[in-house]
Amino acid sequence: MRIIGYRPANSWIERQLDERWTRFLTWCAGGGVVVAVVLGTFVAPHQAVVRMRYAIAQLTAEVERLERQERALLLERERLTAVPVLAQQAAALGLAPVPPERIEFLAPNGVLVAMVPPQGNQPSLEEPR
């Protein structure tokens, strides 16, 4: 006889179901749901607020950076177009202030009044005081 395997036949043992285990799992699941609901209700909005605050902080920093940049550019523009600088550039280009004799005024009666140099009003250095 050749024995090819052995399997005890304990079919007479009746397995008993431990119903407390199922109850425990049910309670765990229920607890999990309650915790999830609580988290969902209270913590999630808080997290969203925290996220939003981080975003606001970042945007505020960006706005401040841009404002600083704008300010720096404004000052740079002012430096480049400073009145003495413009005057120097105008002189270099050969531009000169308009002499008064080349200016004409429109009088209230509609006549153009020219500013002609008056006779005998040239500076004299002979009688200084």
Q: Which residues bind another protein (CB under 8 A)?
A: 50, 53-54, 57, 60-61, 64-65, 68, 71-72, 74-76, 78-79, 82-84, 87, 97-101, 103, 105, 113-118, 121-125, 127-129
User: Of 10 and 124, which has the nearer Cβ to another protein?
Assistant: 124
The whole-angstrom separation of Cα 97 and Cα 82 is: 17
CB 113 within 8 A of CB 107: yes
Residues whose CB falls within 8 Å of the CB of residue 113, separated by 6 or more in sequence, listed in order: 104, 105, 106, 107
Nearest approach in angstroms of CB 44 to another protein is 17
Nearest approach in angstroms of CB 109 to another protein is 10
The whole-angstrom separation of Cα 97 and Cα 91 is: 9
Nearest approach in angstroms of CB 25 to another protein is 35
User: Of 34 and 85, which has the nearer Cβ to another protein?
Assistant: 85
CB 115 within 8 A of CB 105: yes
Nearest approach in angstroms of CB 75 to another protein is 5
